[in-house]
Structure 1
């Protein structure tokens, strides 16, 4: 089968679409024929070697890429109680040493999959697992309840947009930070207040949220600048550990770590079908154009995921 791998770290030119043996499911696993696989920033960190340098990925002769998948189960391993041949599913690969989702087939634990939402394309469905589970867990870590205020940086991105929608479902008021041109988009996703990106982020947010917000989810990696908008004793959730600020003013600083929660992913997929969540796709490309996808993502400015279609 064809699969995206790297044999050495570097720029997009090191990406390779290689011929690998077709995988087979083991106990508790399913094999998925891939219809679409989203590209995420962690793929760029894998390719560049940043994850290995940080001690998060063991060195190996070849490393497979791809976390998100939408496709159809075509083989079931022993002991599987959820999922059957022919089921349309989405899933998340959260073990970096396992086979990647940017391939013609991928094997996942059955518990890491969920029925695919039927109201959107496979490309849109593939943009849900990593971003959706990240946004959902980050919001839960804030501990906010209806009526409290949440600052979302990077609000026009894939994770940020889902955060706005999930917060709105819980009655949490949101202050969205994004580029000036994104105000209409983020308000359409449920933002109550909008602040354009600025070097004086803390002061700008406090103008619309006097006293500071109750919590921050830093999807845009603003770091200490976003922390300045947080009230004393509030909660800051970082998505990238090295950019987590210190817990100044008796705040809590937490780092969200996503995992393949198929049960919660099933609930998120149902919200997509109910029209309450919107996984967004910036474009689709064939597997062989993965390097171009990395170049476009590195350039920034995307408002949704790029998706590879084997």
Structure 2
């Protein structure tokens, strides 16, 4: 059921049409094209966000290629708008919304199916999946954060490690991994960061990892044995592969592995310890808890590169190249905040 948005006094009028980056069919990078489309309808429990910055993530490329078709039990329709993460300003609210008002700075974790994502000037999302931008974070940092940070927090909760226990984070300099390192370190967990490249090693060190190893250059199993001679208590996986399978041999017999759904490839040979598959919690309670942790600590998403709205194809090409942290799309153009 839909309802009319409730405008605030003197609020800018929401247009009927908006700029968006769309897919007319699934496929390669060249299928991402600019288009003017209808602004999405705001339901009674929804907010409409005027997007400032949208996150560009690895799963966007997978979705662009059609790999998520039928995954959500809803048929895809075109034009199709990608974008799961964003930050911006509330432009309108549904009649049942109580926590947000027009003009609020917010970030959100949405899903492109069935109402479209955040590669657009406006995005609609249920109030449940929206939070206020923390005071010390920029729009860009908040805009790339939601899904990775919430999944990181869910996995750390699932592992339930005590302060002083050990955690190997595999892919520790990537989009989700660098957030896992920070949230685990904030909880007093000793982190072995398996990172990538000199910049990735530097990033993990700056986030307080107790030890860091470049997984492309050095022996991860030896590093793990030196870090925890009796075995590592837990692992958090953000990327699979043969090096990971070898590294999981360093787990303590009572250890366990947090493995988010969607991380591939899955191990060809299962490790000797349990793998706990899970999804990120994007509920109101999870978002509020994440904001509390941000307010209480130094957690900061790392934005490696920002792309103008019209260079979205370059942003997707960059997903295939080495980078640390997150990539961002400046939907608001020249009005977007700097990092």
Shared fold (TM-score greater than 0.5)? yes
User: Could you list the runs of 4 or more consecutive aligned residues of structure 1 that deviate by over 4 angstroms after TM superposition?
Assistant: 53-57
Structure number, greater radius of gyration: 2
Question: Per-residue deviation at 1:57?
Answer: 6.8
Gaps of at least 5 residues in structure 2 are 1-17, 333-339
1:9 is matched with which residue? 26
Q: What is the distance in 1 between the residues matched to 2:73 and 2:321? A: 25
From 215, 237, 259, give the equivalent of 2:258: 237
Secondary structure, counterpart of 1:243 in structure 2: coil
Q: What is the distance in 1 between the residues matched to 2:247 and 2:67? A: 24
Tell me, yes or no, if the aligned pair for 1:63 and 1:97 is still in contact at 8 Å.
Answer: no
2:201 is matched with which residue? 183
Tell me, yes or no, if the aligned pair for 1:94 and 1:259 is still in contact at 8 Å.
Answer: no
1:269-308 residue CA offsets vs partner (Å, 9 max, x unmatched): 3433445211111122222211010001112223332333
Tell me, yes or no, if the aligned pair for 1:217 and 1:236 is still in contact at 8 Å.
Answer: yes
From 148, 151, 169, give the equivalent of 2:165: 148
Q: How does 1:1-310 map to 2 (within 5 A)?
A: 1-52=18-69, 58-94=75-111, 96-181=113-198, 182-198=200-216, 200-222=219-241, 223-239=244-260, 240-245=262-267, 247-249=270-272, 251-310=273-332
Q: What is the distance in 2 between the residues matched to 1:60 and 1:202? A: 46
1:244-263 residue CA offsets vs partner (Å, 9 max, x unmatched): 336542x2212231242233
Q: What is the distance in 1 between the residues matched to 2:94 and 2:56? A: 27
Structure 1's 241 and 195: CA in aligned 2 closer, same or farther, altered over 3 A? closer
Question: Per-residue deviation at 1:94?
Answer: 3.2
Q: What is the distance in 1 between the residues matched to 2:152 and 2:298? A: 14
**Structure 2-normalised TM-score?**
0.84
1:163-198 residue CA offsets vs partner (Å, 9 max, x unmatched): 111111211111000135133321210100112215
Q: What is the distance in 1 between the residues matched to 2:275 and 2:115? A: 31
**Structure 1-normalised TM-score?**
0.91
Secondary structure, counterpart of 1:235 in structure 2: strand
Secondary structure, counterpart of 1:60 in structure 2: coil
Instruction: Give the root-mean-square deviation of aligned CA atoms.
Output: 2.2
Bigger helix fraction: 1
Tell me, yes or no, if the aligned pair for 1:8 and 1:14 is still in contact at 8 Å.
Answer: yes
Q: What is the distance in 1 between the residues matched to 2:47 and 2:250? A: 45
Gaps of at least 5 residues in structure 1 are none
Tell me, yes or no, if the aligned pair for 1:3 and 1:100 is still in contact at 8 Å.
Answer: no
Question: Per-residue deviation at 1:212?
Answer: 2.1
Tell me, yes or no, if the aligned pair for 1:201 and 1:229 is still in contact at 8 Å.
Answer: no
Secondary structure, counterpart of 2:107 in structure 1: strand
Structure 1's 74 and 259: CA in aligned 2 closer, same or farther, altered over 3 A? same
- Between stretches 280-289 and 220-229, larger displacement belongs to 220-229
Structure 1's 12 and 228: CA in aligned 2 closer, same or farther, altered over 3 A? same
